[in-house]
Each structure stands twice: as C-alpha cells, then as structure tokens.
C-alpha cells in the first residue's frame, strides 16, 4: 500500500497568509497508514527517536482503533505529540530508520503522531509530592520536556521565560503556517494542568541570577535558555538598513506581529529579499518574507540543491510558493546607497572535495555577479546566549564553557561543572539544533535531576 499523504493548502493562496499549510490525516488515511507498519521485533524507528517513543506500540493501537491508548503510549515519552508531529525531521530520525524505507517509503510516523496528538488529551496524573523544588530556565523544547517529567515525578517545577510568551523557539522561530499557535498553547496548557508553574518576563542572568535561585531554595536548576545569538556574515555592508538576522526577522513577525497593520513593532517590507543559508530557518524566513509582502524572495546558498540541509518537505513547499533558489553563490559584500541595501555582491562557487561534514566543499571561482535586492536576511545559525554565563562569572560561580560559549556538560546526564546545575538544548553542544534533540536533552537532564533529588 502506498504511503498516505496529507492534503495541503493551495500554494498560490497559502503564500499570502499564515494559516497552516499541511493538514492532519483523515481517519481513513490513518487506518491505512497504520496498517503499513510491520511491527518489527527490533524497531529501528524507536532507536532513531531521541526521546524513544514506543512507535510500533502506538501504531498498533491505531490499527485496533484504540486512539486513547495510542495517546497514552506517546505521552509516556513525549508531552508534545502535536508539535513533534509537525516540526521534527522524521526523515532523518524515526522514519529515516524505518525498514520499509530501505526499498520503498517509510511509514508516515510523524503524521500518525500528529493525528494522535490532535485528537487525544493527556490523562490526569496522580502526583505524589516530594517537597523538592526545581528551576528551569527557558520554556522551549528542552525546558517544557524536562518540566513535564520532573513534575510527574512529584517535584515542584518553576519555569522562567525571558519573553512575554511561552514556547521559546517554537513560538518566536517557527512560523504559524508550520506550527499553529493554538497547537502550541494547547500543549503548554497540559503542563499547567499538572501543576508546572511558569514565570514570564524574567531574564535569568539579569532579572535574577543563578546564585539567587540557589538562595531561593531550588534544589536543582536546569539551564536551557537556547541559542539567541545570531551568526552573521562579517562582510562589508552588514550594518546597512535592510539587513536582518533570521532570528530577528522571524521573532518580529512570529512573536511581535510586525506584519500586521498598526503594530508598534513594524517591519520594513521592500520588494526583493535575499535569504542567505540553506537550512530550515532559511526556508522559514523565505516563506515568511513572501507572506509579509515581498515581490521576490531568493534563497542564496553556496552549494547545490543536493547539499541543502533543510528538510525536503520544506524545500518543496518553498518552491511551490514561488521562492527562487540561487545556488553556488556566496555573498562577498552587501552594496548600499544612502544607508540602505541596494544590492548583493555574490561570488560564484564550484564544488570541490568533501569537507568534514561529508558534503562537497564550495570553492571560490573569482567570478562575481551583483544581485538586485533591498533586503538581506542572514540565516546561518545561532550561538548560545551569553547572559547566564556572564552572570555566573560575576557571581564567581565556576560554570565551565567552551571557546564558543556553550556550557560544557556531561553528555549522559546534562550535569555542568556546578553541583546540582544541569544544562541542555541549544545552550550546550549537544548535536544538531532540532526540537526533538532538545527534547531528548530535556529528558536526560530530568532523569538525572530526579535521581539526584530522590537519592
């Protein structure tokens, strides 16, 4: 049986609004797709999932029309099934390990998880209070995952969020056409219902320090403040008006409604935008730029399409929505006029031998071309936010970090150099920056903290 595919909004309509692009599978499609699962004795899909969801078990329940039971199985490992089903790179994780994918198409695990998340609610959990108290710094993927596990273990959990809305990068970084805010809010409400306390507009390292949290009686602290420091090109013209980091651009639109009329935080919308980079964030920025009103949006990437790191689904959606791809091009200068972006000087590249990532390395040819643009959005990734690290140093706490500013941790537990303080997610060097990997880091830290507090 062929893999079941969800319906999608028309590309010529959806590229002008922020409504969800891909729809949830129908009941009939779910039944058909669940029947494709082989229920392997050695489920490689589970090994590929950073939070080890029992995938064959929940799919088996779907086959037998036990939807609520399927929801219970997923939520034993993940409290964010509707989120993960939408934004996780399943093709590189659970679905990438599916046996059916060797000769055909993998089971649509992500779409099945999304269906379960959208159609079930978390069961009431009986919690036995331990009297212990844990502070979690950041309400992104790692933070809310750790909060759920620690609260279910009976500890009082307080999550500190720097912004005025909860969700971290799930809210400010991922556009609503990929992750509707109603879905994110519903998952967070589940945590509130079991007693997780959230404090917004609190910047740990500024509003309150780690030392103060210790003095306030928290038995353990989990640092997961994310990677809020954008990486830029470091080329001439980068300070011109019309140059944004993807982090700023997406935050302005996703969190601060810069695309709406009469907003206090307006966005200057030009005619032609160039997005530098080829990852998922670059695709999000490009598709968002199209929706806020740019006439022409172009992805500029220094390798070929075969090396694009973004999800294939995101690349396909971008193309369908009219995004242009200008490949084998690397920016060498942003050209300005009277303080504003006027163009982009691109050096033409060619591919050489593979580098340490296994992809062929882009090699300069010495040839250049000028691209006519009035906006440049740099999507080259982010580094760890340094606020907590600086604050710890001022308080004379020995929080060990590497030369890039990442907090050094024990890979198995998330433990830092300070007793009873743990870290994970994008603030620590824990692998690729994805929602599910951050959740995996949150689960590891929660397990270690729970063992510490029980011991």
Q: What is the DSSP string of 240-306?
A: SBTEEEHHHHHHHHHTT-TTSTT-SS-----SEEEEE--SHHHHHHHHHHHHHT-SEEEEEESS-GG
Average of per-residue pLDDT values in the chain: 95
CATH node for 230-382: 3.50.50.60
Report the side by side order of strands in the sheet with 243-245: 243-245, 375-378, 272-276, 296-301, 324-327
Q: Is the Cβ–Cβ distance between 212 and 126 less than 8 Å? A: no
C-alpha dihedral over 211, 212, 215, 216, to 10 degrees?
-140
Residues paired with residue 407 on neighbouring β-strands, in sequence order: 401
- Give dist(CA 416, CA 430) in Å, integer: 13
Domain residue ranges in the chain:
11-119, 133-228+384-454, 230-382
Predicted model pTM: 0.95
Domains 11-119 and 230-382 share a fold: no
For the ranges 15-29, 138-152, 432-446, the lowest mean pLDDT is seen at 432-446
- Average pLDDT (154-160) is 98
pLDDT tens digits for range 288-340: 999 999 999 999 999 999 999 999 999 999 999 999 999 999 999 999 999 99
Strand ranges (E), 145-224: 156-160, 197-199, 220-223
- Give the model's confidence band at 53: pLDDT under 50 very low, under 70 low, under 90 confident, else very high: very high
- How high is the pLDDT of residue 385? 83
Q: Which two tokens stand for residue 109?
A: 């695990």
Domain 133-228+384-454's class?
alpha beta
> Between these two residues, 432 and 332, which has the higher pLDDT value?
332
- Give the model's confidence band at 432: pLDDT under 50 very low, under 70 low, under 90 confident, else very high: low
11-119 is classed CATH 2.40.40.20: no
Residue 431, pLDDT > 70, answer: no
> Between these two residues, 70 and 356, which has the higher pLDDT value?
70
């Amino acid at each position: 049986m062929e893999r079941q595919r969800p319906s999608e909004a028309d590309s010529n309509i959806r590229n002008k609004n922020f409504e969800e692009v891909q729809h949830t599978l129908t009941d009939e499609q779910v039944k058909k797709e669940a029947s494709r699962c082989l229920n392997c004795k050695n489920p490689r899909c589970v090994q590929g999932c950073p939070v080890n969801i029992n995938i064959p078990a929940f799919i088996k329940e779907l086959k037998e029309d036990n939807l609520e039971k399927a929801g219970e199985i997923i939520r034993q490992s993940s409290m964010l099934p509707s989120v993960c089903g939408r934004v996780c790179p399943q093709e590189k994780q659970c679905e990438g390990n599916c046996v059916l994918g060797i000769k055909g198409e993998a089971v649509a695990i992500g779409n099945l998880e999304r269906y379960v998340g959208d159609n079930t609610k978390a069961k009431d959990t009986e919690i036995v209070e331990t009297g212990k108290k844990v502070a979690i710094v950041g309400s992104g993927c790692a933070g809310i995952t750790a909060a759920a596990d620690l609260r279910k273990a009976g500890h009082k959990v307080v999550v500190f969020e720097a912004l005025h809305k909860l969700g971290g990068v799930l809210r400010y970084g991922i556009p609503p056409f990929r992750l509707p805010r109603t879905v994110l809010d519903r998952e967070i409400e589940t945590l509130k219902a079991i007693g997780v306390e959230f404090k917004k507009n609190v910047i740990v390292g500024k509003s309150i320090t780690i030392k103060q949290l210790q003095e306030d009686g928290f038995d353990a602290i989990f640092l997961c403040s994310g990677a809020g420091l954008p990486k830029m090109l470091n080329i001439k013209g980068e300070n011109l008006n019309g140059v944004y980091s993807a982090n700023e651009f997406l935050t302005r639109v996703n969190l601060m409604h810069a695309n709406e009329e009469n907003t206090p935080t307006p966005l200057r919308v030009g005619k032609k935008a160039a997005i530098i980079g080829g990852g998922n964030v670059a695709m999000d920025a490009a598709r968002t730029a199209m929706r806020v009103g740019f006439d022409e949006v172009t992805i500029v990437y220094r390798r070929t399409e075969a090396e694009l790191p973004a999800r294939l689904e995101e690349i396909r959606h971008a193309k369908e929505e009219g995004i242009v791809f200008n490949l084998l091009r690397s920016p060498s200068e942003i050209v300005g006029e009277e303080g504003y972006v006027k163009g982009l000087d691109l050096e033409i590249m060619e591919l050489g031998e593979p580098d340490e990532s296994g992809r062929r390395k882009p090699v300069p040819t010495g040839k250049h071309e000028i691209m006519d643009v009035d906006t440049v959005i740099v999507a080259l990734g982010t580094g760890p936010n340094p606020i907590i690290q600086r604050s710890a140093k001022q308080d004379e706490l020995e929080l060990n970090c590497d030369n890039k500013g990442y907090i050094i941790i024990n890979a198995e537990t998330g433990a830092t150099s300070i007793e009873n303080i743990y870290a994970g997610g994008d603030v620590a060097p824990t692998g690729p920056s994805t929602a599910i990997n951050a959740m995996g880091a949150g689960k590891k830290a929660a397990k270690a903290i729970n063992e510490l507090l029980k011991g």
